[in-house]
A and B are shown apart, each in its own frame.
Chain A
Amino acid sequence: MNTHIAKVALALALVIGGAACTHGARLSTPSGFATLEEGGKYSYRATSAKGVVLATRTEPNDIKGNTEFWAETLDAKLRDKGYVADGTRDVKTSRGLKGTQLRYTTTKGGREHRYWITVFATASKVFVVEAAGDKEPFDKSSGTVEGAIATLDASE
């Protein structure tokens, strides 16, 4: 009997563990967006017909940095790349996870684009939500983008 329970527990652990490894952070795909299949560096990615893209990354927090640390690190990197900062905001997901959102404007193909990056740090993971698009359609979809970020499912 004990052997049987141990087998069942092991199977559940494998299933749950496997699911956790392949899942990563995800968003609820907002209306007007289509989800793209991902298997690479993004754990989730979706796009609108007008090229506004949403994506999440799930990275290990090996150096145990907090959200403020990661926000400053990412901000320094992006400014070095020429991104112009539009501001910083504190955000909170619907599940209560707190993060920091950095907003930038940059030029791509001769046109201005928006680029938002939102970082959430836990003890073991760093969840990054990126959003970008041509300035005009992005600004029109900014409310949708903010709502989608709030749906972050950062289950570890």
Chain B
Amino acid sequence: MFSLLTRGRARLLCALPLVVGLVAVQTGCGAGARPPVAQSSAAYAPSVPQAELAGMAPSAATAMGRDAAASQAPGPPAPTPATKAVMGMPAPADARPAKNAGPATRAPVIIYQGDLRMMADEDAIPKTIDKVIDVAESLGGHLAGRKDQSVSVKVPSAGFREAMTKIEALGGVIGRSVTADDVSEEFHDLEVQLGNLRATRTRLQEFLGKATGIADMLTVEHELERVGKEIDRIEGRLEFLRTRATMSLISVAMSPKPKVAAPIVAVAAPAAPPPPPPRRASVDLPIPWVSELGIDPLMSLRK
């Protein structure tokens, strides 16, 4: 059959099932927790027999082997250019992962969260909350949420410790907790998956350009669509983790100080009311109407 086909068509038809099989192994079935780069090429034997590679034209087999090696070189755990881009670091000119980079070069991705419980006079709570917001804004952060007696602010992770110190300095801290969620492993696994998927997408696009049959094109396009969705999902998750790691959340819950009852002090008996003014000397006349005078009978209009 190979004798009836042109040399290029033979390469395409042989390579297509191999690529589809590789993609399925690389990206399928939730394999994201383990970077495929740690796997050896023998792991792909069930879906891509070496005999099939051997049966291909030498140039095609060489090309496939080079592609596979490029994307699946065993375990360089150092941050890839994609990782560095996500972390805000400059990406090197060579986008390929460095083979000899070790785990020590990985930048930790840690999500910090601080919770403070503070007590203040009820009247001073709004002012204290304003000061917490001022601290966050002075460090490049911002308000994340506010209620009557609580506030949440986000501060750059680099200033997390300083922010906590300044907020605690406002006084009245009755409880604090800090959590540091290390998502480095998840982050780097996702990053490696993303790199692999992007490489796979590139190869699929190359094969799509070479495909001549409708069936082949549909198969490759279907795989491209699936890989694209997976890339989007991983990029979203990476962005989420990056945002959480870049800005740390500090929540402050305020509670009013209990009102202290006035101390009981022995108090002398209340001062006696001042004595009434001395009565004016007046005779007690036997005249009733004099005693009836006054505002009450006068203003009582009822008979």
Report which A residues bind B (CB closer than 8 A): 36, 40-41, 45, 47, 51, 53, 55, 57, 59, 62-63, 72-81, 83, 106, 108, 113, 115, 117, 128, 130, 132-133
Contact = CB atoms under 8 A, between A and B. Distances in A.
Interface in B68-93: none
Contact of B295 (A40, A72, A80, A106): A106
Q: From DSSP, what is the main secondary structure of chain B's interface residues?
A: loop
Given A63-B287, A77-B290, A83-B294, 18 more contacts: A45-B301, A51-B299, A53-B298, A53-B299, A57-B289, A72-B282, A73-B282, A76-B281, A77-B293, A79-B280, A80-B280, A106-B295, A108-B296, A113-B299, A115-B294, A130-B298, A132-B298, A132-B299
B289 A40 contact: no
Contacts, number: 59
B285 interface: yes
B279 interface: yes
B201 to A, nearest CB: 89
Q: How large is the interface on B (under 10, 10 to 19, 20 to 34, 35 or more residues)?
A: 20 to 34
B282 A77 contact: yes
Contact of A73 (B290, B292, B299): B290
B24 to A, nearest CB: 93
A73 B285 contact: yes
B227 to A, nearest CB: 87
A117 B285 contact: no
Contacts of B282: 72-73, 76-77, 80
Contacts of B294: 78, 81, 83, 115
